[in-house]
Structure 1
């Protein structure tokens, strides 16, 4: 835990030093007030006889209180700022790290978990850095100063008052271990609940249409009930800690009134000293009562750090920084795949081999579940290719930096994703094109190649139209074409298209295919589709079945062979006719 926090806190050491000095001054001023009260009580009878009222002592108490208020406020500013700064930095680092992790990480971890880490866990660390540090220093100082002055008043009385403390702290230690365990379990259940909520809310339309509300409600209630149970167990342990710690102050006053009362009757303790002693005990009240809460925050913070460290120690982050130079020219690549096999729980690609010369095109055909999308993900770098299986321009991809590989690649997945921004921002990742003629020219060019230019111009604000969450204002075919335009806009030498024309009518599909193969895109192309009319334009075609290469060749050569490709070609031709 300490090494993790140290890397973030070391740059703010002067804030903690300033806060610590302010806390020393605050507690010193606090300790002086009971001494002033003792002076007033012990000397008031003598002063009243001589008709002199201790004005200086009262004025001193007022000034001490004002000074304490000012310094205490400043100490909180100094202590809480690092907490907010660390919260910002940790959240930024987690986001950057998560965005750089491979697809295998996201198969094991849900979006709900990531949300919980980014919000709940980071907030717990902020509370630990700010509040826990503040109260730890404050409690240490108030106990140190008050015990010293109690010792000065009467060491015997101080030892009697403090005698129950070791036993109570031992009980608190035992309870804090239980609290740590239940806190971690509660946070895990919160992650499950967050994941469940996100999953159900993202599919609310389907849930209503399918009539599965009762089933979904049952699942949600079960997970919510489990979280409630684990959280209540944690609360019970925390309540027990509050009770044990609260006893310290109560027992202290009980001992003071019993033992101190006898000392008053024997005149071994003055009334002023008795009152000052009582004030010092009262100074313990809040630090002591908050101790259970601080221990709870500390345990929450520790559990959150462990959870975040489990993410950060995952596979080394991949450097994903795509070139921002939209006018950069990238040459077509030579792609070779040799004996590529890939597995999840079972093998999904088996000894696949092919080669695509620079500027040429490869079509990939196969039924559902044949491994086409997995092959696309491997070529796009989403899934890590086994060593010495994929080569670009004669070099295996593992010898390339991820940044270099991403800079020469454009990929449009089967499930398109659009940001809830304007059309222009979705294609170019730039806020506006109006002040950049070169950008505007390329933007309109790729929109034309993707056959979406005319439809964009009919929108309310054209390329500046906000398209809603995930492109909700566009049809499925329009979303696919905007995604295609985005891929074409980015400089690339290799273009991978995974069934991106499936939602289009035959006329629009034909226009895009003609544009892609008519000289508008000179990159090396990998086109995955179940439509043989598209694949017929490719220089070479690969037929997959259950992860294996069933056949490969040109469109004409595959039509001469008995097999899946020829049967599908005949069937689709019959449907069109």
Structure 2
């Protein structure tokens, strides 16, 4: 139960739902126990009336006794029905408080988990599968809800009802009560054993479900590749194997539950037999009445449901504990990136790297070594280098997706850890190398970075990104709905929509992470011309492979194996005759060979 202690804060928050709920449980069970006493009394009264009625056989008074008997029977019947109606009313109120509370807690938990996920750094998402994250926020939370709702409700109900029934039994006859309750110690041992099994099996089932969710999510995201390589059959077979493993673990848990419930019923049956046998002897001896036996049988019948529910509740609690342990595992992870306190800083765009070293924490790959450079406010700076040289790492560090191992990154004189993350990132326009568009309209994808925006601003951003005319050719234009990850658009169109999303913010700093690779040369020049107008007197950082893209930059930084090997303007670097010149000559040769 230690994992479920995390839920205490929610119970405290909704205490004015759970407290009335407990009161309603107690009242409803009082109205459940009283009818048994009424029926026991009525049973004795009926037995006596029948005997009296028989004695007056042949006398006129027999009709009077019959009338009294009928009215008494009607009275007791009406009384029992009324008590059960009252019990039903309080059961309704009990569910309206406790079950509704569980839904509120489920809502709060999902929001808390999602918000916590949002705060975690990029490295967390590199280490964990999307399917596993989703399973913990949905399936695991749903199992926890079953604990805070039905499990708690039935546990309280079982405890209160059992206490009332056992007290009533001892008030009637202590010896008979002891015999009725003899099977209970065996029940405790069985529950303890079953608890252990269910907890272990539940944890394993949730792990299997997470693996299955991750597999399905990944395969659906990559369905284009699967179809291109005709791997549908292989994917289906792999899914069948994983699904079968989940089924086997689930069936194993079902077998435990299937054995548990009949055992509960067997123990209840033994109690009933003992009640009739021992009670019958005491009726003969005159210790109790036949009505008391009827009362005891009703008590045992009433105990049947809560005792059998005990197995189900036990399963719910153990599965919830296993799920909450998985949820806590991520909730206890502190974000690697902590926001600073400087929240009102307005950027001018001066960026300085001082002896920066960085190694990716997940892979141990050293990406940058002793990086030193300065980007002055309003400059257009380009970063170039071969694949794996550390270009995108520089962009991620400027965005503070990661913190540096050594050295400092300063923006307008502040080190990045000093700045408030939200305020800082709100003033940066970032176009990542891997374009991601949401399953929403083109308009909403472009306006994603802003809370409110006019249609004109969306149109202007689309024009600046040279995608306006493409969008206008669609039937629904800017209201065109995109498929998952923007699958509706071509690669170049997706890149330009992503660029429009960054430009609409009018950022103080704009970072292009090799996002013009799928755009033709003419469109590229048009975008760069528009960029020159929009980002005038603002800092622009362009990461690219093509030298034609960056030759007009104020400064070009050449990276190789995580180190700066050259920096300067296009002409200055060509005069050096170094790595940049080699890249330039190689690209000229490629262009000439493509012409021929």
Normalized against structure 2, the TM-score is what?
0.90
Gaps of 5+ in 2: 54-64
Match for 2:515 among 458, 481, 500? 500
CA, structure 1 residues 489+387, in 2 after alignment: closer, same or farther (shift >3 Å)? Answer: farther
In structure 2, distance between residues paired with 1:550 and 1:242: 73
- Contact 1:424-1:430 at 8 Å conserved across structures: no
User: Are 2:269 and 1:267 aligned?
Assistant: no
- Residue in structure 1 matched with residue 382 of structure 2 by the alignment: 363
In structure 2, distance between residues paired with 1:185 and 1:420: 33
CA, structure 1 residues 393+381, in 2 after alignment: closer, same or farther (shift >3 Å)? Answer: same
- Contact 1:87-1:122 at 8 Å conserved across structures: yes
- Residue in structure 1 matched with residue 57 of structure 2 by the alignment: none
In structure 1, distance between residues paired with 2:585 and 2:463: 32
Match for 1:451 among 466, 470, 476? 466
The structural deviation recorded for 1:104 is 0.8
In structure 2, distance between residues paired with 1:273 and 1:2: 43
Match for 1:165 among 160, 184, 188? 184
Residue-by-residue CA offset, 1:8-28 (whole Å, 9 max, x unaligned): 121211211211111111111
In structure 1, distance between residues paired with 2:468 and 2:103: 46
User: Are 2:489 and 1:474 aligned?
Assistant: yes
CA, structure 1 residues 455+330, in 2 after alignment: closer, same or farther (shift >3 Å)? Answer: farther
Residue-by-residue CA offset, 1:474-530 (whole Å, 9 max, x unaligned): 221111111111111114221111111111111001111122234554421111110
In structure 2, distance between residues paired with 1:549 and 1:277: 88
In structure 2, distance between residues paired with 1:250 and 1:44: 27
The SS at the match of 1:382 is: coil
Match for 2:500 among 485, 497, 501? 485
CA, structure 1 residues 402+431, in 2 after alignment: closer, same or farther (shift >3 Å)? Answer: closer
Match for 1:564 among 549, 569, 579? 579
In structure 2, distance between residues paired with 1:235 and 1:3: 27
Match for 2:555 among 529, 540, 546? 540
- Contact 1:425-1:432 at 8 Å conserved across structures: no
- After TM superposition, the structure 1 stretch with the greater mean CA deviation from structure 2, 54-63 or 203-212, is 203-212
The SS at the match of 1:81 is: helix
- Contact 1:418-1:470 at 8 Å conserved across structures: yes
User: Are 2:333 and 1:333 aligned?
Assistant: no
CA, structure 1 residues 109+506, in 2 after alignment: closer, same or farther (shift >3 Å)? Answer: same
The SS at the match of 2:436 is: coil
User: Are 2:21 and 1:19 aligned?
Assistant: yes
The SS at the match of 2:489 is: coil
- Residue in structure 2 matched with residue 66 of structure 1 by the alignment: 85
In structure 1, distance between residues paired with 2:13 and 2:182: 41
- Contact 1:331-1:492 at 8 Å conserved across structures: no
- Residue in structure 1 matched with residue 569 of structure 2 by the alignment: 554
- Residue in structure 2 matched with residue 511 of structure 1 by the alignment: 526
User: Are 2:143 and 1:128 aligned?
Assistant: no
- Residue in structure 1 matched with residue 94 of structure 2 by the alignment: 75
The SS at the match of 1:225 is: helix
In structure 2, distance between residues paired with 1:45 and 1:20: 39
* Structure of greater Rg: 2
User: Are 2:538 and 1:523 aligned?
Assistant: yes
Q: CA RMSD in A?
A: 2.3
Residue-by-residue CA offset, 1:394-424 (whole Å, 9 max, x unaligned): 1110111212221221111011111222222
What is the count of residue pairs matched by the alignment?
A: 567
In structure 1, distance between residues paired with 2:511 and 2:450: 26
The structural deviation recorded for 1:379 is 1.4
Gaps of 5+ in 1: 322-327
The SS at the match of 2:540 is: strand
- Residue in structure 2 matched with residue 40 of structure 1 by the alignment: 42
- After TM superposition, the structure 1 stretch with the greater mean CA deviation from structure 2, 311-320 or 228-237, is 311-320
- After TM superposition, the structure 1 stretch with the greater mean CA deviation from structure 2, 204-213 or 66-75, is 204-213
The structural deviation recorded for 1:165 is 0.9
Normalized against structure 1, the TM-score is what?
0.93
- Contact 1:172-1:244 at 8 Å conserved across structures: no
In structure 2, distance between residues paired with 1:508 and 1:491: 21
- Contact 1:333-1:392 at 8 Å conserved across structures: yes
Match for 1:342 among 358, 374, 384? 358
